[in-house]
Structure 1
Amino acid sequence: MKIVIIGGGEVGFHLAKLLSEDDHEITIIESKHESVSRAQNNLDVMVIEGNGASAQTLVEAGIKKADLLVAVSSIDEINIVSCMMAAKLFDGKKVARVRNYEYSANNAILTADQLGIDLMIHPEKEAADEIIRLIERSAANDVIEFSDGQIQLLGVKIDQNAPIVYKTLREVGKDYESLTFRTVAIDRKGRTIAPGSEDVFMPNDQVFVIAKAESVPEVLKLTGKTETRIENVMIFGGGRIGKLVAKELEKKSEMNIKIIEPDSEKSFKIAEQLRKTLVLNADATDMDFLANEGITDADVFLAVSNDQEKNIISTLLAKHLKVPKTIALVDKTDYLPIISTIGVDVTVSNKMATVNAILKFILKGEVVSVATLKGIETEAIEFIAQPNSKITKKTINKLKFPKDAIIGSVESDSSHEIIVPTGATQIHPYDRVVVFTLPKAIKEVNQFFA
C-alpha cells in the first residue's frame, strides 16, 4: 500500500516506522528541518520537506497514486486542509488527527464527511479512556481490552515474593490449570522476550498476560498484586485529558477528585465545568504543597499536563510520598523504555493511542483492533479469521505459525466461548483471534488471516 503521511513528529515517525517494516511504501511530508533529518537518517521512507496542506507538495509526494493519506501534524487545520486538498487529487482514504472538539463533536457545523475525512481521531479521548481502565484495574500498569472487554491484556511487574517467581511457564501452567491465561511477552531489563514454556519468571519482570476478565483478580495474585479500592484521585493538569478523566470519575459517587492546575485563569474555568472536583491553583512539583493537600491519602496520582518532564518529576515525587499508583502522560517514545526503571508505575501516550487507531483503520476488514504495547516492541492485533484463510486450514500446531508471534486467545463465532488455545485448537471462519507479534512478523501473520 502507498501511504502519504503529513507530519514527521512523534506520531508520524512511529507510524512510518511500523508501516515501513510491514513493507508499505511510505512518504512523509514535514515542514520542520530537524524532523525531516531525523526521519531521513532513521527510516527507510521517502521524506519531503514542505507544507502538507499544499496541493503542489501533495502531488510531489505522489498523492495521485496513493492509497491512503494520514494527516497527523501538530496543527488541526493543516490536517483538515490536507485531507480536503487530497480529496480533490485522489480517490483513496483520508485520516486526520484532530484535537479540537469543535471539529469532531456530533453537532459540528462541518462533519468529517463534508471535510473529506474518512476517519477523524481524537487522541485525548483515546488516552482518557485508557487512564480510566488503568484506574479500574488498580494493580496493572497496562490494560488493553479485546472481545468487547471479555478478554483483557494486563501489563504487570512481578513482585519479589510473587508465587510464580523462579518458576518456568510450564510449571506455572501445571500449578494453576484452573485459570484461563497466557503470558504473551516479558520485558526484562529493556529486552523483549517472546516466552516459551521453559522461560523462567524473574523478580521485576514486566509481564504481559492475556486472561478472561473474570480471571483477572486471580491472575494478578500470581504476580504478587491485589486489586485495591480507589477512593482518592489527584490529577496534575487541567487540560483536555485531565477534564475528561475527572468528568468520568465524577460519575462514581465514592471518588474524591482533586485537579492541580498551575494556570490561575484556567483553574477557574475548570472549576466551573466540573461539579464534584476540587480544583487547586498550584504547581504539582512543589513537595510541600502536595503534602499539605493530602497526597499521602491519594490512591492514584495522575500527571497529564502538557509538560512531559513535569509529569515525570511530579509522579516521582508522588511515589516518594508513598502514593500506591502513579500514572504519567509521556508522549516521547524514547522515554518509554526507561520510565518504569526510574519509578513511574504507568505511562499513557495520546500519540501512541493515535498510532493504534490509525493501524486499526489501515488493517481493517479482518482486523478488529490493534495496540502497541508500551516500552516493548510487540503489537497486539485482534483478527477475524476469514473464510478459506490459512489460519482455518489446520490445527495451530500444524500451521507453521511465525515463531515471533503467539496466539493469545480465540473467541468462537458460533458459541462465543473464549479459550486460551493449545496446539490442538482449530480456528474456524469468523472466530476472533488475538495475536501478539514482533513487528518483523506482522506481514507474515497478516497472510494467515487474509
Structure 2
Amino acid sequence: MKIVIIGAGEVGYNIASRLAHESKAVVVIDQDPQACRRLAEDLDVQVIVGSGSSPSALTEAGIRDTDILLAVTDSDEINITACLLANQLSPLTRKLARLRNEELIPFHSNLKKESPGIDTIINPEVEVVKTIRKLMEVPEARDTGDFLEGKVKYVGIRLDDASPIAGLPLSEFHKRFGNDRPLLAAIIREGEVIVPRGKDSTQAGDLVYFVCETRNLEEKLKLLGVRISPVKKVLIVGGGRIGAQLAKSLEADKIEAKIIESDLDRCHELS
C-alpha cells in the first residue's frame, strides 16, 4: 500500500513513523526543509520538499498510483487544495483531511459529496468532544465506542470487589445470566491483554471490555453492577475551542453547562 502524507509536523511525523514500521510505502511532502530532513534521517520514507497544494509536488510523489492521501498540515487551505488536486489527478485515491476551522464544520458534508471529494474529514476538537460525550453516556466507563453507525457499542469497565462478575469464570456466565450474559471481548490485567475463554476468570481490578447492541447497553451494565445516571449539569474548565464546542454540544441536548475561563475577553466572546 502506498500512502502520501501532506505535512511533516508532529501529526505527519507520527503517522509516517507508524506506517513506516508497518512496512507501508510512505511519501511525505512539506515546505519546511528542516522538517523534511528530520523525517529523512529518522524514518524509512521518501521525502519531498514542496507544497502539498502543488500539482508538480503531488505528481513527483506519484499520486496517480497512491492508495491514500493524508492531508494533515496546520493549514486547512493547503489540506483542502491538496485533496482537490488529488481528486483531479487520481480520482480513485482515498483522501483524508485534517480541518480545524469551526466555520467549515457545516460544510463537511458538501466537501465529501462534492468537489474536492474528501472521503474522511477529521476535526481534532470535534473528535475530542465526541469522545467526551461518549464517556458521559456511561460515566463509570474507562473507554467506549461504537460500530455499525452506532448500533453496536463496546465499553471498558474497571471491576471492583463488589462487581457481580469479579472472580467468576466465563464458563459460569451462562448459568448466572442465561442468554442475557455479557459478551466479553477482552480483559486487561496488569497491562496484559487477555482474550477471554471459558476457563478464564475475571478479577477485581481488571479492565473488562464487553460488546452489546446499543439498545441493550443499560441492561448489560446492570448485569455488571453499573447503573447509568443521566448527566444534568456539567462544569467545563477552560473556554478554548474544545470547551466551547463541548458546551454547544451539551446545550443542544439540553444539558446545563458552565465554563470557567481566566481570560475575561474570551468569557465575553463565549457569553
TM-score using structure 1 length: 0.51
Paired amino acid for 2:74: S
Q: Are 2:125 and 2:241, in contact at CA under 8 Å, matched by a contact in 1?
A: yes
CA distance, structure 1, for counterparts of residue 199 and residue 8 of structure 2 = 42
Deviation at 1:219, TM superposition (A): 2.9
Q: Deviations over 1:88-109 (max 9, x none)?
A: 543333321111133342499x
| Percentage of identical aligned residues | 37
- SS of 1:175 mapped into structure 2: helix
CA distance, structure 2, for counterparts of residue 49 and residue 228 of structure 1 = 53
Paired amino acid for 2:72: V
Q: Are 2:39 and 2:45, in contact at CA under 8 Å, matched by a contact in 1?
A: no
Map 1:20-59 to 2 at 5 A: 24-30=24-30, 31=32, 33=34, 37=38, 41=42, 45-48=45-48, 50-59=50-59
Deviation at 1:34, TM superposition (A): 6.0
Q: Deviations over 1:55-86 (max 9, x none)?
A: 44333322232133110223212212322343
Q: Are 2:63 and 2:89, in contact at CA under 8 Å, matched by a contact in 1?
A: yes
Q: Are 1:124 and 1:240, in contact at CA under 8 Å, matched by a contact in 2?
A: yes
CA distance 1:197–1:44, change in 2 (3 Å): farther
Map 1:243-392 to 2 at 5 A: 243-253=244-254, 255-271=255-271
> Which residue of the partner structure matches residue 317 of structure 1?
none
Q: Are 2:36 and 2:47, in contact at CA under 8 Å, matched by a contact in 1?
A: no
CA distance 1:124–1:55, change in 2 (3 Å): same
Deviation at 1:261, TM superposition (A): 1.9
- SS of 2:234 mapped into structure 1: strand
CA RMSD between the two structures: 3.3
Paired amino acid for 2:226: K
Q: Deviations over 1:373-414 (max 9, x none)?
A: xxxxxxxxxxxxxxxxxxxxxxxxxxxxxxxxxxxxxxxxxx
Q: Are 2:9 and 2:35, in contact at CA under 8 Å, matched by a contact in 1?
A: no
CA distance, structure 2, for counterparts of residue 67 and residue 156 of structure 1 = 37
CA distance, structure 2, for counterparts of residue 38 and residue 190 of structure 1 = 31
Paired amino acid for 1:60: E
Q: Deviations over 1:3-57 (max 9, x none)?
A: 212234554455556656776533233547468646864x664454554334443
CA distance 1:183–1:19, change in 2 (3 Å): farther
CA distance, structure 1, for counterparts of residue 252 and residue 258 of structure 2 = 14
Paired amino acid for 1:237: G
Map 1:170-249 to 2 at 5 A: 170-249=171-250
CA distance 1:226–1:117, change in 2 (3 Å): closer
Q: Are 1:144 and 1:154, in contact at CA under 8 Å, matched by a contact in 2?
A: yes
> Which residue of the partner structure matches residue 120 of structure 1?
121
Deviation at 1:270, TM superposition (A): 0.6
- SS of 1:177 mapped into structure 2: helix
> Which residue of the partner structure matches residue 73 of structure 1?
73
CA distance, structure 2, for counterparts of residue 21 and residue 186 of structure 1 = 27
CA distance, structure 1, for counterparts of residue 176 and residue 2 of structure 2 = 49
CA distance 1:76–1:23, change in 2 (3 Å): same
Q: Are 1:180 and 1:215, in contact at CA under 8 Å, matched by a contact in 2?
A: no
CA distance, structure 2, for counterparts of residue 222 and residue 215 of structure 1 = 11
Number of equivalences: 268
Pairing 1:103–2:118 present: no
- SS of 1:155 mapped into structure 2: strand
Paired amino acid for 2:143: D
CA distance, structure 2, for counterparts of residue 262 and residue 229 of structure 1 = 29
Paired amino acid for 1:27: V
List gaps (5 residues or longer) in structure 2.
none
Q: Are 2:174 and 2:181, in contact at CA under 8 Å, matched by a contact in 1?
A: no
Q: Deviations over 1:112-147 (max 9, x none)?
A: 634464443333333323322321222223222234
Q: Are 1:103 and 1:111, in contact at CA under 8 Å, matched by a contact in 2?
A: no
Paired amino acid for 1:200: S
> Which residue of the partner structure matches residue 64 of structure 1?
64
Q: Are 1:163 and 1:224, in contact at CA under 8 Å, matched by a contact in 2?
A: yes
CA distance, structure 1, for counterparts of residue 181 and residue 173 of structure 2 = 12
Paired amino acid for 2:198: S
> Which residue of the partner structure matches residue 447 of structure 1?
none
Deviation at 1:224, TM superposition (A): 4.1
CA distance, structure 2, for counterparts of residue 87 and residue 263 of structure 1 = 42
- SS of 2:79 mapped into structure 1: helix
Q: Are 2:238 and 2:260, in contact at CA under 8 Å, matched by a contact in 1?
A: yes
Q: Are 1:33 and 1:49, in contact at CA under 8 Å, matched by a contact in 2?
A: no
Paired amino acid for 2:234: V
CA distance, structure 2, for counterparts of residue 161 and residue 152 of structure 1 = 24
CA distance, structure 2, for counterparts of residue 251 and residue 93 of structure 1 = 33
CA distance, structure 2, for counterparts of residue 210 and residue 39 of structure 1 = 42
- SS of 1:105 mapped into structure 2: helix
Q: Are 2:5 and 2:26, in contact at CA under 8 Å, matched by a contact in 1?
A: yes
> Which residue of the partner structure matches residue 149 of structure 1?
150
CA distance 1:6–1:249, change in 2 (3 Å): same
Q: Are 2:36 and 2:48, in contact at CA under 8 Å, matched by a contact in 1?
A: no
